[in-house]
Amino acid sequence: MSKKTALVWFRLDLRLDDNPALHAALKGGGAVLPVFIWAPEEEAGWKPGGAVRYWLHQALSGLEASLEKAGSRLIIRSGSSLEVLQQLIRETQADAVFWNRRYEPELIRRDSAIKQALKEKGVQTETFNSAVLFEPWEVKTGSGTPFKVFTPFWNKCLTLDAPPEPLPAPAALPVPETWPKSQKLRQLGLEPAIDWAKGFGSTEDMTARGAEKFLKEFSAEAVAAYPEQRDLPAVRGTSRLSAYLHFGQISPRRVWHSLRKQGRTSAAYLRQLGWRDFAHHLLYHFPKTPDHPLREEYAAFPWKNDRASLKLWQRGLTGYPLVDAGMRELWKTGWMHNRVRMVTASFLVKHLLIPWQRGAEWFWDTLVDADLANNTLGWQWTAGCGADAAPYFRVFNPVSQGEKFDPDAVYIRRWIPELAAMPAKWIHRPWEAPDEILDAAGVRLGRTYPKPMVDHEFARRRTLAAYDEFKKQKPGAA
DNA sequence: TGAAATGTTGGGGCG
DNA sequence: ACGCCCCAACATTTC
């Protein structure tokens, strides 16, 4: 009799370290068959976007390498997840499938159907938490309902049992007697046909090893200065772990425990991990929120569907340097600094009155760390229609945000070369600069760099009036 | 995890 | 010495 085989179905847990599904498969004592299935159409309206596919390619390539180092390999297939799993079970006589949970509504549905179908065939299935510090259903208010405000949510989390210590990465994996066929990673077509990802950084860094490197750097230096530096887009003051956390290339428990040792210095950063958990909490309890406002009355808000303005925003041609710098950083690198995400998002929603869903879609396509939970929380927060929402009257001033968080304009100059010669005093508001300053910097407004697409003061009053009017019609809306 | 408008305070210049 | 004005600087309120 041949030895037992357990499938480990890799999804958003592309690591060997602290991987509970992998750990469980190993404990079974039989062979372990690592599998990845490419099934984007199963993610319904939120298929992985271009930037995410690019990163996924690198992440899978890294996973292949670390599995090979452990004497194993990754079986790659595409098609219906259930059909592929059943096929592999037939081919390998596997009797168990283990995976780590996802929280996107469509995938919860899919996964429970798969679980049911496999159970009916007598295959053991078990699922685990690899992605969050606290499971969404474990955190409840005193009255048993989900939290809708972050601070009490996080305070409650901190009273619960601390997340368990991370599991070690296995040094070696027992392999099946024969390997089923696998597609080549390249065949999934995740890499772009034209090389638009030149600015995305080193592909080597996009593996789990890159995550370890970043965590080490961050916990050695930046975490202490994090509270002061995290808002400066010109500085490398954030952890830059978002994409690794999204793909599960690093475990939040690993991050938690390695930073926890630093005591109080890491509290501000751990709180950000808390926001990530909170986003999953909300997505789990309010599954319609990727497309629909949590505060339902906002579905009737008079947004403007202005495609031309949307395009200017996407291309970084709004005429507001901080907004444009952020949008260009996003386009070129697949990433944007968090402070600038807030400013650019606020600009789309409040200055242009374009529906937050359009912004969410653009970020979804262009961010390498695009994550349904985080993206939804962020955009609803900006629009003021979500949990713990920014009040409607909070309208970021892109000029003063720039002057405050990029005072020397290092970030602006990096991403808007046509303004690089402008002095810091005027670069955040070039339309107010004296002619001789513009001439000296070689800037011709409306030609080399756009004039503001909308006047700030006008836009601010317009959005306040719109929200005000809306509130009158829908009492209790804000 | 704002910004602008409005209000208050206190030091200095000055008659 | 005193009152008055000006105006930062800071605080509070309002959107």
List the CATH number of the domain containing A257: 1.25.40.80
Is residue A245 pLDDT above 50, yes or no?
yes
Degrees (nearest 5) of the Cα angle A399, A352, A424? 15
Looking at the structure, tell me whether residues A424 and A435 fall in a common domain: yes
Of residues 385 to 414 in chain A, which lie within 7 A of strand C by their beta carbon? 391, 393
Nearest to A308 by CA among A446, A431, A454: A454
pLDDT at A2: 55
Do the domain assignments include residue A89?
Answer: yes
pLDDT (average), residues A339-363 = 97
Mean pLDDT of A217-240: 93
Q: Is residue A174 part of a domain?
A: no
Q: Is residue A10 part of a domain?
A: yes
- Of all residues in chain A, what percent carry a pLDDT higher than 90? 92
Predicted confidence (pLDDT) at residue A228 exceeds the cutoff of 90: no
> Is the distance between the Cβ of A400 and the closest atom of strand B smaller than 7 Å?
yes
Largest Cα–Cα separation, chain A: 87
What pLDDT score does A264 carry?
A: 76
Residues A112 and A260 in one domain: no
Determine whether the distance from the CB of A280 to the nearest atom of strand B is below 7 Å: no
Q: Is residue A98 part of a domain?
A: yes
User: Is A301 found in the same domain as A278?
Assistant: no
Number of H-type helices and E-type strands within chain A:
20, 5
- How many residues are there in chain A? 478
**In this structure, is the CB of residue A275 within 7 Å of any atom belonging to strand B?**
yes
pLDDT band for position A29 (50/70/90)?
very high
Instruction: With cut-offs at 50, 70 and 90, classify the pLDDT of residue A3.
Output: confident
Are A232 and A242 part of one and the same domain? yes
- pLDDT for A415: 98
What's the Å distance between residue A295 CA and nucleotide C10 C1'? Answer: 37
> What is the total count of domains within chain A?
3
Q: CA–CA separation, A283 vs A280, rounded Å?
A: 5
pLDDT of residue A476: 67
Nucleotide C11 C1' to residue A120 CA (A):
68
Among A239, A263, A285, give the residue marking a domain's end.
A285
Mark whether A323 and A422 lie in a shared domain.
yes
Judged by C1' against the alpha carbon of A394, the nearest nucleotide is B2
Residue A117, domain CATH: 3.40.50.620
What one-character-per-residue DSSP string does A97-148 give?
EEEE----HHHHHHHHHHHHHHHHTT-EEEEE--S-SS-GGG---TTSPPP-
Say yes or no to pLDDT of A449 above 70: yes
Residue A75 reports pLDDT greater than 50? yes
Predicted pLDDT at A391: 84
**Tokens for A138?**
């474990």
Beta-sheet pairing, A31-38 with A5-10 = parallel
User: Mean pLDDT throughout A439-451?
Assistant: 98
* A290: nearest Cα among A93, A54, A103, A57: A103
Q: Which nucleotide is nearest to A378 (CA to C1')?
A: B1
* Residue A186, domain member (yes or no): no
Residues A383 and A434 in one domain: yes
Q: Which of A216-220's residues contact partners 24+ apart within 8 Å by CB, and which partners? A: A219/A258, A219/A259, A219/A262, A219/A266
pLDDT of residue A477: 64
Whichever domain contains A370, its CATH number is: 1.10.579.10
Distance A139 CA to C2 C1' (A): 66
C-alpha A128/C-alpha A126 separation (Å) is 7
What is the pLDDT at residue A1? 45
Could you tell me which residue, A393 or A477, shows the higher pLDDT? A393
Residues A125 and A155 in one domain: no
pLDDT band at A478 (very low <50, low <70, confident <90, very high): low
Quick one: pLDDT band at residue A262, thresholds 50, 70, 90?
A: confident
Answer yes or no: do A124 and A140 share one domain.
no
Q: How far apart are CA A252 and CA A242, in angstroms?
A: 10
Domain end position, chosen among A285, A317, A347: A285
Q: How confident is the model at residue A265 (pLDDT cuts 50, 70, 90)?
A: confident
- Domain assignment of residue A173, yes or no: no
Q: What is the pLDDT of residues A393-414, one digit of tens each?
A: 999 999 999 999 999 999 999 9
Question: Does any strand B atom come closer than 7 Å to the Cβ of A179?
Answer: no
Q: How confident is the model at residue A345 (pLDDT cuts 50, 70, 90)?
A: very high
Q: Is residue A381 part of a domain?
A: yes
Is residue A473 within 8 A of residue A449, CB to CB? The reply is no
Q: Which nucleotides of B are covered by protein (CB under 7 A)?
A: 1-4
**Mean per-residue pLDDT of chain A:** 95
Q: What is the pLDDT of residue A475?
A: 72
Say how many Å lie between the first and final Cα of chain A, rounded.
Answer: 67
Are residues A429 and A332 part of one domain?
yes
Whether A234 and A371 share a structural domain: no
Domain that holds residue A239: 131-166+208-285
Tens-place pLDDT, residues A128-159:
999 999 999 999 999 999 999 999 999 999 99
Q: Are residues A153 and A113 in the same domain?
A: no
Residue A400 CA distance to nucleotide C14 C1' (Å): 20
CA of A67 to C1' of B5 (A): 62
Task: Single out the residue in A244, A261, A285 at which a domain terminates.
Answer: A285
pLDDT score recorded for residue A294: 95
3-state secondary structure of A75: strand
Does residue A477 lie within any of the structural domains? no
Scan for tokens 């690794």, then name that residue.
A244
Give yes or no: residues A118 and A267 share one domain. no
Q: Which nucleotides of C are covered by protein (CB under 7 A)?
A: 15
CB burial of residue A297 (10 Å; 0-12, 13-18, 19+): middle
| CB-strand contact A169/C, under 7 Å | no
